Amino acid sequence: MNRVQVIEHPLVKHKLSLLRNVDTAHGDFRRICRELTVLVVYEATVDLPLTEITISTPMTETTVMRLHRPEPAVVAILRAGLIMAEATIELIPHAAVGHIGMYRDPETHQPVDYYAKLPDRLGDRAVFLVDPMLATGGSAVNALDTLKEAGATDIRLLCIVGCPEGVSAVHAAHPDVPLFLAAMDEGLDESDYIVPGLGDAGDRIFGTL
């Protein structure tokens, strides 16, 4: 059964109010995506495994906890996931980074693959799959298939805006994958865009409207 966590936090709600606004310029849109990602990653990493090690401080020897190795992997669904991957590696600088390229066919709304480059030892890492939008869920399900085929077992899906249709699709295909969202919206329109949503995330991030 998927765990679905919608991050309920005043800062998340405030930043979403800016992100959704059609008048927000793409430079601000990019920055707010990064800021929201940091807040989502904070919640999605609360149970990351740690290893106890002994180190010397300037004062004495002591035991401390550090992230289990190999370090987590962050995998971006291109294009829009790039901005979330950037923000995630600000918090986890030694994370390995992977990319899965796909776009939604404008007619069928089905994902079309064009690229995949993934870190090694995926089965030994916590894997964070990042994409701002979970609409029909087709792209996320396809990327999760790719990650599992490459050996990943501990995968978390991090998005900014999701909707019940996308959550159900991920749930049906990958019930073991926990989902972390900044917002759960009402649903999809006739073009499979999220409403109220924020429009086309990739175009707004990269200024390609």
Binding mask 83-112 for ligand PRP (x = CB under 6 A): --------------------xx----x-x-
Of the candidate residues 32, 74, 80, 84, the single one contacting ligand PRP (CB under 6 A): 80
Q: How many residues bind ligand PRP (CB under 6 A)?
A: 23
Encoding tokens for residue 199?
């429009």
Question: Looking at beta carbons only, is 77 or 92 nearer to ligand PRP?
Answer: 77
For residues 155 and 149, give the distance between their C-alpha atoms in angstroms, rounded to a whole number.
12
146 touching ligand PRP, by CB under 6 A: no
Of the candidate residues 100, 102, 122, 135, the single one contacting ligand URA (CB under 6 A): 135
Residue 207 CB, nearest approach to ligand PRP (Å): 12
137 touching ligand PRP, by CB under 6 A: yes
Residue 201 CB, nearest approach to ligand URA (Å): 4
Binding-site ranges for ligand PRP (CB under 6 A): 77-80, 103-104, 109, 111, 131-140, 166, 192, 200-202
